[in-house]
Amino acid sequence: MNEHQKSPISFYATILRLPRKGMPVVLEPDDAERARLAQEHDLLSLDRFRADMLVEPWKGDGVRVSGEVSAHVTQACVVTLEPVESEVHERIDALFIPEHSPLARYESDPSGELLIDPEGPDAPEIFTGDKIDVGALAEEFFALGIDPYPRKRAPDGETVHGDRSFRDETESPFARLAALKTKL
């Protein structure tokens, strides 16, 4: 989502006076908001969406948002275009720091390169002002959980591939070649 576009489920949490134990936020969009979310994410429908989050202070002037987003979505199969239903469950864990915070200054490598650990935690996001859009954050994590290539399953457990179907338990092509070799 680009920075100037407002999320259909925007909810701004004021971070000036956060309780020490955090502020719980629960988002359950109405039918119109779910329809807008479905349209923005190319879904056939979004039957259920719920985000349970906790917004709490982090290291003095930072903010941590943690929780979970869950949803029931219907997408079009990438092969047959038939409806495919699935569940989305994503953990939310994000850190925010104000732009002028000492925590916002990154230590750079002497070579000038930025070193990133792909398995490590995400770097904190920098924000301005006194509010954070936790609704947009929930939408970002929701988008990460959507299957980019949904496939329709046949009633007997087969996965549809174009005009053919393959059983999930099929033996590999190499096993079939080995069987041919033993016949010769």
Domain range annotation of the chain? 1-103+120-151, 153-184
pLDDT of res. 168: 46
Instruction: Write down the pTM of the prediction.
Output: 0.74
Coil, helix or strand at residue 176? helix
∠ CA 155-83-156, rounded to 5°? 10
Could you say which DSSP state residue 110 is in? Answer: T
Give residues with Cβ within 8 angstroms of 171, minimum separation 6: none
Residue 18's alpha-carbon distances to 25, 62, 106, 161, 168, in angstroms, are 12, 11, 26, 51, 50
Mean pLDDT by 10 residues, the chain (184 residues): 72 88 94 95 96 92 93 94 94 89 59 67 81 94 94 67 50 74 67
Give the per-residue pLDDT at 128: 86
Q: Is 34 helix (H, G, I), strand (E, B) or coil?
A: helix
For residue 180, the model assigns a pLDDT of: 75
Question: What's the confidence (pLDDT) of residue 153?
Answer: 76
At 102 the pLDDT is 65
Residue type at position 54 = L
Q: How far is 60 from 83, CA to CA, in rounded Å?
A: 48
H/E run at residue 35: helix 31-40
Structure tokens at 55: 């917004």
Give residue 57's pLDDT.
92
